[in-house]
Structure 1
Amino acid sequence: MTTFEELGLDDRLVKATGELGFVNPTAIQEKAIPVLLGGTKDFIGLAQTGTGKTAAFGLPLLNLIDVQARHPQALVVCPTRELCLQIVKEIELFKKYMSGVFVTAVYGGTSIGLQIRDLKRGVQIVVATPGRLIDLIERKAINLEQIQYVVLDEADEMLNMGFQDDIEFILKNTPQRDSTWLFSATMPPEIKKVSKRYMTEPVEVQVGKVNTGNKNIDHQFFVAPAQYRYEALKRLIDFNPGIYGIIFTRTKADAQEISEKLTREGYDIDALHGDLTQAQRDKVMSQFRDKTLQLLIATDVAARGIDVQGITHVINFELPDDVEVYTHRSGRTGRAGNTGICMSIVHSRELFKLKQIERIVQAPFHRLEIPTGKDVCRKQFFHFMEKLLQADISHGDYETYVPMLEEKFADVSKEEVLKRVAAMEFDRFLKYYENAADLNMRTEDRRNRRDGRENMQHGAQGQDRRRNERGEQGRNYNNNGDFARLFVNLGTKDGFYKASFLQFILDMSDLRKDVLGRIDMKEMNTWLEVDKRAAGQMIKAIDGKNYKGRRIRMNDANSR
Structure 2
Amino acid sequence: MTPSQSEENEPLSFSKLGLSGPLLETLSRMKFSSPTPIQVECIPPGIEGRDIIGIAPTGSGKTAAFAIPILRHLWDYPQGLFACVLSPTRELAFQIASQFDALGATMGVRTAVIVGGDDHVSQAVSLAKKPHVLVATPGRLLDHLKATKGFSLRTIKFMVLDEADRLLDSDFGIAIDEILKNVPRERTTYLFSATLTDKVAKLQRANLRNPARVQVSTKYSTVSSLLQYYLLCPLIKKEVILVSLLNSMVQNSIIVFVRTKASARKLAVMLRILGFRSVPLYGEMIQSQRLGALNQFKSKACNILIATDLASRGLDIPSVDVVINYDCPTHSKDYIHRVGRTARAGRAGKSILITTQYDVEFIQRLETVLGRQLDLYPHDKSEIDILKERVDEAGRIAINQLKSEDASKSKGGREKRRISADDRDRDDDEVEAGMPSVSRKKTRR
Q: What is the TM-score with the length of structure 2 in the denominator?
A: 0.83
Letter of the 1:120 counterpart = A
Higher relative contact order (CA 8 A, sep 6+): 2
Q: How does 1:377-392 map to 2 (within 5 A)?
A: none
Shift of 1:79: 1.3
Q: 1:21 aligns with which of 31, 34, 39?
A: 31
Matched, 1:102 2:102: no
Counterpart of 1:154 in structure 2 is 163
Counterpart of 1:293 in structure 2 is 302
Counterpart of 2:19 in structure 1 is 9
Shift of 1:264: 1.4
**Mapped partners of 2:148, 2:408: distance in 1:** 43
Answer yes or no: is the 8 Å Cα contact 2:312–2:337 preserved in 1.
no
The runs of 5 or more residues in structure 1 that have no matched partner are: 374-432, 438-458, 465-472, 478-482, 484-497, 500-516, 527-549, 551-560
Answer yes or no: is the 8 Å Cα contact 1:220–1:342 preserved in 2.
yes
Counterpart of 1:467 in structure 2 is none
Counterpart of 1:32 in structure 2 is 42
Shift of 1:278: 2.3
Letter of the 1:123 counterpart = P
Q: Which has the higher Rg, Structure 1 or Structure 2?
A: 1
Answer yes or no: is the 8 Å Cα contact 2:75–2:107 preserved in 1.
no
Deviates more, 1:246-255 or 1:90-99: 90-99
Counterpart of 2:380 in structure 1 is 371
Q: 1:93 to 1:520 in 2, by over 3 A?
A: closer
Counterpart of 2:236 in structure 1 is 227
The runs of 5 or more residues in structure 2 that have no matched partner are: 1-10, 410-418, 420-445
Shift of 1:177: 3.6
Answer yes or no: is the 8 Å Cα contact 1:266–1:474 preserved in 2.
no
Q: 1:109 to 1:205 in 2, by over 3 A?
A: same
Matched, 1:340 2:223: no
**Mapped partners of 1:17, 1:363: distance in 2:** 38
Counterpart of 1:117 in structure 2 is 125
**Mapped partners of 1:111, 1:525: distance in 2:** 25
- 1:152 aligned counterpart, secondary structure: strand
**Mapped partners of 1:364, 1:145: distance in 2:** 51
Deviation string 1:478-525 (CA, Å, 9 cap, x unpaired) is xxxxx9xxxxxxxxxxxxxx79xxxxxxxxxxxxxxxxx967416453
Q: 1:63 to 1:226 in 2, by over 3 A?
A: same
Shift of 1:199: 1.5
Q: CA RMSD of the aligned region, Å?
A: 2.6
**Mapped partners of 1:87, 1:277: distance in 2:** 20
Shift of 1:2: 1.3
**Mapped partners of 2:278, 2:306: distance in 1:** 7
Q: How does 1:59-458 map to 2 (within 5 A)?
A: 59-65=68-74, 69-99=78-108, 101-141=109-149, 142-160=151-169, 162-301=171-310, 303-373=312-382, 433=383, 436-437=384-385
The sequence identity of aligned pairs, in percent, is 31
Deviation string 1:158-211 (CA, Å, 9 cap, x unpaired) is 234721222222222112442110000011211112212111232211002121
Shift of 1:66: 5.4
Answer yes or no: is the 8 Å Cα contact 2:259–2:329 preserved in 1.
yes
Answer yes or no: is the 8 Å Cα contact 1:248–1:297 preserved in 2.
yes
Shift of 1:474: 5.7
Q: 1:139 to 1:349 in 2, by over 3 A?
A: closer
Deviation string 1:397-434 (CA, Å, 9 cap, x unpaired) is xxxxxxxxxxxxxxxxxxxxxxxxxxxxxxxxxxxx4x
Size of the alignment, in residue pairs?
Answer: 397
Deviation string 1:24-53 (CA, Å, 9 cap, x unpaired) is 1000000000001112x2210000011001
**Mapped partners of 1:110, 1:139: distance in 2:** 16
Instruction: Judging by fraction of residues, say which structure has more helix.
Output: 2
- 1:150 aligned counterpart, secondary structure: strand
- 2:244 aligned counterpart, secondary structure: helix
Answer yes or no: is the 8 Å Cα contact 2:227–2:349 preserved in 1.
yes
Q: How does 1:407-556 map to 2 (within 5 A)?
A: 433=383, 436-437=384-385, 464=389, 473=390, 520-521=403-404, 523-525=406-408
